Amino acid sequence: MRPLVSRRRDETHRAATPLELFFDLCFVVAVAQAGVQLVHAVAEGHAGDGIARYAMVFFAIWWAWMNFTWFASAYDNDDALYRVVTLVQIAGVLILAAGVSRAFEEQDFLLVWLGYVVMRLALASQWLRAARSATGPERTMALRYAAGVTLCQVGWTALVPAPEEARPWIFLALVVAELAVPPLAERDFTSSWHAHHIAERYGLFTIIVLGETIAAATVAVRTGVEEHDALGDLLPVAAGGLLLIFAAWWIYFVVPVHQRLLSNRQAFLWGYGHYLILASAAAIGAGIEVAVEQAVGKAHLSATAATAAVTLPAALFLLVVWMLHSRHFKFGIAQQLVLPCAALGILLCTFAGRWGVLAAGLVAAAAVAVGVALTAGTERGTQGG
């Protein structure tokens, strides 16, 4: 047992801990469940409802992960109590994961809410523990966080008994409240999160989500081949999907994000924007599964609709990555236009029929190649000058 005091922002060799990696892997269980339900909804022709419910459930997963990540970056002392409370939060997300199918299929949010209660009360207790060891403005900040997290959790209780037509509005109101807690809590004092550590944590979670995307798509392709002997129909989907995921990884990690965070006063915006990055990354895998089911005749969708399930999240991923950090490392109009033009090209691939996913993958791969060539040309010009 050690005091839960803030860590230094200039701490050297600050890296993700084994407990944080374990935390991420358990959270991906919930991400996978949300992806499975999105596949079912889209494949059955209920894309609108499925996307709305996916957005709600994914926000709950992502927000709980984000709360823990920024707290741990500032206060992780790795003592026994800290570990136990973190394991309690992991138990909460597993409860949430168990309730994802009910939330999608029956609009029953009881298990999701219960999992959230476990996670958020554990988080509030961590902030109270930090407040106990702090003084002055830092203590006020910690108490604000504890109060904000608790009050928002009370608000989420209204989602369980509310009629179905009222839930989206309650959800949106509570999202605004949740997003307002960190800037209000840190109005007078900024928590000592570590820029390199935060960049690494977000990067690792992005890798894990992309890995889950590959795993889900691989299982879908294997099942299609084994049950329908449709290797010829599935090869374009498999190849295009793999190219998209490889390109997504390359594009996200091509720039040193932590250097941007060191001088970026919009850290909240950067962190919040990753909701779209992570949700779209997971949705790419769901879209590939939908395209596979359409190719073997299991999904009641047109080839265009099935391709859109892949191209829409892929284009969104590229645009948001460009907006959040890639554009800050680009020089000249040509470099700046690579990702927006690639996103547009991927969207146009929606209308390429059964070859749409492969075409989208080729566009993404071409964007990577062009970006590398332009960057190399800029570096040679700089060295020559």
Q: How far apart are CA 249 and CA 260, in angstroms?
A: 19
Same domain, 371 and 288: yes
Instruction: Please determine, for residue 16, whether its predicted confidence score (pLDDT) is greater than 80.
Output: yes
Give pLDDT, residue 384: 52
Token output for 363: 């566009």
Q: For residue 330, give the nearest of 283, 262, 378 by alpha carbon.
A: 378
Q: Which residues, including other chains, have CB under 8 Å from residue 182's CB and lie 6 or more apart?
A: 70, 145, 268
Task: Please give the C-alpha separations between residue 287 and each of 2, 58, 77, 141, 239, in angstroms, as whole numbers.
Answer: 47, 16, 40, 41, 14
Instruction: Count how many domains the chain has.
Output: 2
Q: What is the residue whose two structure tokens read 């060191």?
A: 262
Element (H, E) at 379: helix 356-384
Record the pTM. 0.90
Q: Classify residue 275: in a domain, yes or no.
A: yes
Same domain, 228 and 179: no
Same domain, 164 and 265: no
Same domain, 233 and 126: no
Task: Evaluate whether 117 touches 92 at the Cβ level (below 8 Å).
Answer: yes
Q: Could you list the residue range(s) of the whole structural domain that residue 118 is in?
A: 18-185
Same domain, 263 and 157: no
Task: Evaluate whether 100 touches 148 at the Cβ level (below 8 Å).
Answer: no
Q: For residue 302, give the nearest of 48, 92, 45, 61 by alpha carbon.
A: 45
Instruction: Please determine, for residue 279, whether its predicted confidence score (pLDDT) is greater than 80.
Output: yes
Give pLDDT, residue 263: 57
Instruction: Please determine, for residue 60, whether its predicted confidence score (pLDDT) is greater than 70.
Output: yes
Q: Confidence class of residue 311 from pLDDT cuts 50, 70 and 90? A: very high
Q: Classify residue 4: in a domain, yes or no.
A: no
For residue range 219-229, list pLDDT tens digits in order: 888 887 777 77
Q: How far is CA 140 from the centre of its chain?
A: 30
Give pLDDT, residue 6: 87
Least confident range of 241-250, 288-297, 315-324 = 288-297
Task: Evaluate whether 119 touches 69 at the Cβ level (below 8 Å).
Answer: no
Task: Please give the C-alpha separations between residue 367 and each of 236, 250, 313, 318, in angstroms, as whole numbers.
Answer: 19, 10, 16, 10
Task: Evaluate whether 78 touches 17 at the Cβ level (below 8 Å).
Answer: yes
Q: Classify residue 11: in a domain, yes or no.
A: no
For residue range 332-342, list pLDDT tens digits in order: 788 888 899 99
Q: What is the CA radius of gyration of the chain?
A: 22
Task: Evaluate whether 75 touches 9 at the Cβ level (below 8 Å).
Answer: no
Same domain, 250 and 146: no
For residue range 91-126, list pLDDT tens digits in order: 999 999 898 888 888 888 889 899 999 999 999 999
- Taking residues 46-66, report their average pLDDT: 90
Q: Classify residue 8: in a domain, yes or no.
A: no
**Which amino acid is located at 140 in the chain?**
T
DSSP 4: -
Mean pLDDT, the chain, integer: 88
Q: Classify residue 204: in a domain, yes or no.
A: no
Among 153, 185, 217, the domain-final residue is 185
